[in-house]
Amino acid sequence: MKLAVGQIAPDFTLPATGSRTITLGQYRGQNVVLVFFPQAWTPI
């Protein structure tokens, strides 16, 4: 399923660098630039 502009971004909770756990919802009130990249060691 493809997402479209105007839809609510699906939330996620995942581990991240710096021993963090990131939940998208924690950034409510800020803009988020979510950058998907294929694999580490490729330019971001």
Partner 1 sequence: MDLFEGLNTQVLGISIDHVPCLEAWAESLGGITYPLISDFWPHGMTARQYGVLRDEGYSERAIFIIDREGIIRYIDIHDIDEQPDNDEVFSILQQIDPENAKKHPVDLEALAAQLPHGGIVMYCNTWCPGCRKARAFFEANHLDYKEVDISRNRAAAAQVRKWANGYETTPTFDIDGHILIDYDESKLREILGSRVTK
Binding site for partner 1 (CB under 8 A): 1-12, 14-18, 20, 22, 24-25, 27-41, 43-44
Residue 26 backbone dihedrals phi, psi, to 5 degrees: -70, -15
In sequence order, what are the residues at sequence separation of 6 or more whose Cβ sits closer than 8 angstroms to the Cβ of residue 29? Answer: none
Q: At closest approach, how far in Å is the CB of 37 from partner 1?
A: 5
Q: At closest approach, how far in Å is the CB of 43 from partner 1?
A: 6
Q: At closest approach, how far in Å is the CB of 21 from partner 1?
A: 9
The SS3 of residue 17 is coil
